[in-house]
Structure 1
Amino acid sequence: MAETPVGSEHVLTDDPAGTGGPGDGQEGVEGQGDDHGQELDADALRDELKAARAEAARYRVKARETAEALKTAKTPEEFQAVADKVTELETHLHRERLARKYNLPDGLAARISGTDEDARDADAKALAEMFHGKAGGVGRGGLDPSAKPMSTDPAELAASIPRGRR
């Protein structure tokens, strides 16, 4: 089957050369000379070839870009390891920030636990209450109420001084 142009359409015929011989049903078509039809057909083919080459070039560029992307791609296991490390570092940073917020020492910052930020915040608050809690006068800068008061009598103070032999 050959393709011969009729007006702006291409018509398939049984003539392999596309010469439009007698009995092909195209005798009455005007504006179709053998030379003129061949030139339009060649121009159309050139345009199609040009478009096909441009499309092939686009596909080659995409293939190169994809190959480059695949070279730098990581395996799912490597990606998961990096994601786990990021989660661990974010959790550690959040613990440090909570320790600074509630004035906790570094040793207690590592003990802050929880699966999400709210749970860790509640745990840090509880640790801060235990660490900074109101535990009476001992260790808070006052006198120890359990200590026995000293006498102010000079005779008793003199008797409490040990005397050694000389």
Structure 2
Amino acid sequence: MADTATPNPTDSPAEHVPSDDGQEVQQAERQDDGQELDADALRAELKVARDQAARYRVKARETTEALKTAKTPEEYQAVADRAAELETELQRERLARKYSLPDALAERISGTDDHAREADAKTLAELFHSRTGGMGRGGLDPSVTPAPSDPGELAASIPRARR
């Protein structure tokens, strides 16, 4: 051990070493004659070591808690898929209300994006609202009495006003 350099008494009695939190910690050196550090220096080193150990324990505890609550990619994807499904269902309901469609037709609205679903809802609304009631297909109303074809009857049906 003759090749290691021994510190000179003119050197500084303490060495500055940065700690994890950015503060400088003084580490006492051993004296030239191989004597142990004094009690105050040992206490200071012990305090620094305990502070570092406490920080590491807190970090380990926080990491353990974070890992316990962490979701796997599969769980995250399942939640994201469910959210997308609920958004699509909500948009179908809104489109059905907007175009006055019954619930049975609201479920049939399809499309890959918002614009496609809206176009499909418009088409369904046109088909649903264009259907006729129970009136027949000729456009004639059966409750109306037909106009007479005889000119005499037609002239008699014209009201005459007295002046």
**Please, what TM-score do these two structures have when normalized by structure 2?**
0.58
Q: 1:31 maps to which residue?
A: none
Say yes or no: does 1:95 pair with 2:100: no
Note the alpha carbon deviations across 1:116-137, whole angstroms, 9 max, x for none. 222212221222222223x6xx
- Aligned CA RMSD, in angstroms, stands at 3.9
CA contact (8 A) 2:92 2:106 kept: yes
Q: 1:119 maps to which residue?
A: 116
Q: 2:71 maps to which residue?
A: 74
Structure 1 residue 105: Cα displacement: 0.7
Q: Distance in 2 between matches of 1:88 and 1:56?
A: 48
CA contact (8 A) 1:4 1:18 kept: no
CA contact (8 A) 1:104 1:128 kept: yes
Say yes or no: does 1:50 pair with 2:50: no
Percent same amino acid among aligned pairs? 59
Q: 2:19 maps to which residue?
A: none
Structure 1 residue 57: Cα displacement: 0.9
Unaligned 5+ residue runs, structure 1? 11-16, 22-33, 154-166
Say yes or no: does 1:61 pair with 2:66: no
Say yes or no: does 1:145 pair with 2:148: no
Match of 2:32 among 2, 7, 19: 19
**What is the SS of the residue equivalent to 2:116?**
helix
